[in-house]
Copies of this chain bind each other. A is one copy, B any other.
Amino acid sequence: MPRKTPAAKTEEAPRPIGVFDSGIGGLTVVAELRRLLPGESIFYIGDTARVPYGGKSQSTIVRYSQELAGLLLAERAKLIVVACNTASALAVQSLEETLRVPVTGVIRPGAEAAVKATRNGKVGVIGTRATVYSKAYERAIEALDDGIEVIAEPCPLFVPLIEEGWLDDEVTDRVIARYLEKLLRAGVDTIVLGCTHYPLLRGAIQKFVGPGVKLVDSAQNTAIAVQKLLKQQKLTAPRSKHPAKLQVALTDPGAAFLRVAEEALGLGIGEVLGRAVQK
């Protein structure tokens, strides 16, 4: 038998931040993470085979989220970001109860930013049907300040309009007006963009609501929450000879919208990996 030689001492690649979303929209969170934490590697999985989650039941969304978290742990993720409002609303608790790595969703960071931003105590929340009906933002905002009134409105056509690329478009403007009129009538001074796709409509929404209403983007605030969590848990990436990497995997490769988002967000995504779910 050959004699065993000790393995050469190699520096192991740093563990990435794991990010998942129902599809491509969570890349808005990745863009903010890259800006704020350029030294951190990121592994992103978009569940394009089963997108959208917005109309599905809680048990289905929990099952999908657990499966995606498992794929990220297989990539040695040190922390998991649920970059999907629907999954954040319905599955973060289940992930926190079952996983040994820290988990953060996008709801609490968005709620914190809204509470800081409002002056008149009236906050609007927009998102998918599942996010809005879950009342997750109401609960998160109330836990921070129970004097704040939350008015929520599902906007199910925003995602398909964004994925169609109609970002600056008269039809989209009319849909925005239809959905947001009620929030303006209620006198909100702050609106939470409660879906990771929505930052791509920020310009059009701001145009309709006017400069007096502040738009709170959970992507940016989630990146800040991740930075804090990494420090608290002493998980910040060490200086390394390995450059920080961004890897993107999709559960279905046929997602035309990926390249639209890559360009709109200025992300450099190389080869897109595949990951299978539910054989």
Contact = CB atoms under 8 A, between A and B. Distances in A.
A254 B175 contact: no
A171 B160 contact: no
A175 B172 CA distance: 10
Interface in A201-259: 252-257
A130 B254 CA distance: 10
Contacts of A171: 171, 174-175, 178
A38 interface: no
A149 interface: no
A179 to B, nearest CB: 10
A76 to B, nearest CB: 26
Q: How large is the interface on A (under 10, 10 to 19, 20 to 34, 35 or more residues)?
A: 20 to 34
A278 interface: yes
A163 interface: yes
Interface of A: 48-51, 55-57, 60, 129-130, 156-157, 159-161, 163-164, 170-171, 174-175, 178, 252-257, 277-279
Given A55-B256, A60-B252, A156-B163, 19 more contacts: A48-B55, A49-B56, A49-B60, A50-B50, A55-B257, A56-B254, A57-B252, A57-B253, A60-B254, A129-B256, A130-B254, A156-B164, A157-B157, A157-B160, A157-B164, A159-B160, A160-B160, A171-B171, A278-B279
